[in-house]
Amino acid sequence: MDNQMKRGLLDVCVLAAIRNEESYGYQIIKDVKPFISISESTLYPILRRLEDSGMMNEHSVEHNGRLRKYYHITKPGIRRLEEFTEEWKEIMAIYEFVNGRMARAAIDERVQERIPGKEENYEQV
């Protein structure tokens, strides 16, 4: 996948992971991993980026005698997710278009392969 695209998708996945309730780093990784490869070293810069752009904020909560950072989505973050789903409707339409043309090309090729074969058959006859 294109790096720039992956970066954008990762941002959106992390925002989606904290969309309905705030969450912490390890939980985010576990939630997002089934969909896109993510590790601590990828997550940390994303969290910094999202926080700097005001899409989420963090706060510390005491957990088992230590502090755990919880991330909380903000209004701009929610807006970003809404934009994402809107954008992807367009992208899905483009996908349908591209995929349709590709399928058509594949059929045409198959047909083209067959016809010369047939002609040969005719000649033999």
Query: Which residues of this protein are in contact with another protein, per CB under 8 A?
Result: 24-27, 39-42, 44-49, 52, 60, 62, 64-69
**Closer residue to another protein in complex, CB, 24/84:** 24
**Closer residue to another protein in complex, CB, 27/74:** 27
Rounded to 5°, angle at Cα 118 from 115 and 123: 130
**Closer residue to another protein in complex, CB, 69/104:** 69
Instruction: Report the chain's C-alpha Rg in angstroms.
Output: 24
User: How buried is residue 84: exposed, middle or buried, by Cβ count under 10 Å (0-12/13-18/19+)?
Assistant: middle
Residue 82 DSSP class: H
Q: How far is the CB of 3 from another protein (least distance, A)?
A: 9
**Closer residue to another protein in complex, CB, 72/114:** 72
- Three-state DSSP class for 26? helix
Tokens (6 digits) for 53: 């752009």
Phi/psi region, residue 43 (left: phi>0; alpha: psi -120 to 50; beta: rest), is alpha
Q: How far is the CB of 33 from another protein (least distance, A)?
A: 12
Q: How far is the CB of 38 from another protein (least distance, A)?
A: 12
Q: How far is the CB of 114 from another protein (least distance, A)?
A: 51
